Amino acid sequence: MTLSSATDVAVRADGVVLRYGRTTALDGVSLSLGTGVTGLLGPNGAGKTTLLRVVATAVRPDAGSVTAFGHDVLSGPGRLALRRRLGYLPQDPGFHPSFTAFEFVDYVAILKELTVRSARHAEVRRVLNQVGLDAQRGKRMRALSGGMRQRVALAAALVGDPALLILDEPTVGLDPEQRMRFRELFADLGEDRAVLLSTHQTEDVMSLCRTVVVIDQGRVRFSGTPSDLAGLAAGRVWTSDARAPGALASWRTGTGNHRHVGDPPAGAVLLEPTIEDGYLTLVDLRTTEVQP
């Protein structure tokens, strides 16, 4: 099941507010998602998981609206319509340890209303194959490595070929080769569907995402292309041979030189900014700073 054209909007959220007691996790978030991979960046506690849970209909916002494929997902029928087209990989999928990989994905496929046994089993084999777990499908979840379990969880999210995929930090704990495999898969999947990807990996965002949204303290701070995010730090990244105490971030690199992001002194040797530099100029570093 796919979106029909690159301009289709799969999901639109408007003024979404969500509070957990006194904590305002989302403070008026608006966003629209179309075909392709949209990256969601933000510091710990920014509200990324909460936003994904709202879009995945796992939690209801206190205010605002969310539409998906033209349906109001805060209504019963709209919620059902979205769930039928949704694949969701949460941060902690929660596996039954004695299930095999096949049994786990089959269990999810039953929940996804695939009622015909032979067709369902064919679908389970297809998605396990898609994540490269053909050979491990008879292994019990407790015997799989963390990276393999993550792949099983992704396979489960892919059951039924959803038009909207929501992935909460899917590459966490993966080795570089597995991360590359996931990247390839996400890029393929994003060709004809909407993928919303929460991550702390700025390289994943740079190499995969058509759009990147930065949230901090429950608010959208930026929405645009990865290059535009990097461009926010143009003229604000420089190098020198000593630390720059007044900079937003300043560290000694492996070559022995120091790299700084902030307000450069006159005559500084400017560097090409990365997406991470752009991100650093946006988020509130008071909440994320680590002392050297």
Ligand X SMILES: Nc1ncnc2c1ncn2[C@@H]1O[C@H](COP(=O)(O)OP(=O)(O)OP(=O)(O)O)[C@@H](O)[C@H]1O
Q: Which residues bind ligand X (CB under 6 A)?
A: 20, 23, 25, 42, 44-50
Residues 6+ apart with CB under 8 A from 158: 87, 127, 130, 131, 165, 189
CA angle 17/20/21 to nearest 5° reads 115
8 A C-beta contact, residue 31 and residue 166: no
Closer to ligand X at the Cβ: 21 or 267? 21
Closer to ligand X at the Cβ: 48 or 151? 48
Closer to ligand X at the Cβ: 21 or 138? 21
Closest approach of ligand X to the CB of residue 24, in Å: 8
8 A C-beta contact, residue 14 and residue 64: yes
CA angle 78/79/85 to nearest 5° reads 95
8 A C-beta contact, residue 10 and residue 179: no
Closest approach of ligand X to the CB of residue 58, in Å: 11
Closest approach of ligand X to the CB of residue 17, in Å: 12
Closer to ligand X at the Cβ: 39 or 42? 42
Phi first, then psi: what are they for 17, rounded to 5°? -120, 135
Q: What is the C-alpha to C-alpha distance for residues 17 and 51, in angstroms, rounded to an integer?
A: 9
Measured between its terminal Cα atoms, the distance across the chain in Å is: 49
Query: For the chain, where are the alpha helices, taking DSSP H only?
Result: 48-55, 76-83, 101-111, 117-130, 146-158, 176-189, 202-208, 226-231, 275-282
Q: What is the C-alpha to C-alpha distance for residues 268 and 202, in angstroms, rounded to an integer?
A: 26
Q: What is the C-alpha to C-alpha distance for residues 149 and 153, in angstroms, rounded to an integer?
A: 6
The DSSP letter of residue 254 is T
Closest approach of ligand X to the CB of residue 219, in Å: 12
Closest approach of ligand X to the CB of residue 184, in Å: 24
Distances (CA, A) of 123 to 130, 170, 197, 268: 10, 21, 23, 58
Closest approach of ligand X to the CB of residue 174, in Å: 16
Closest approach of ligand X to the CB of residue 117, in Å: 37
Closest approach of ligand X to the CB of residue 25, in Å: 4
Q: What is the C-alpha to C-alpha distance for residues 263 and 246, in angstroms, rounded to an integer?
A: 8
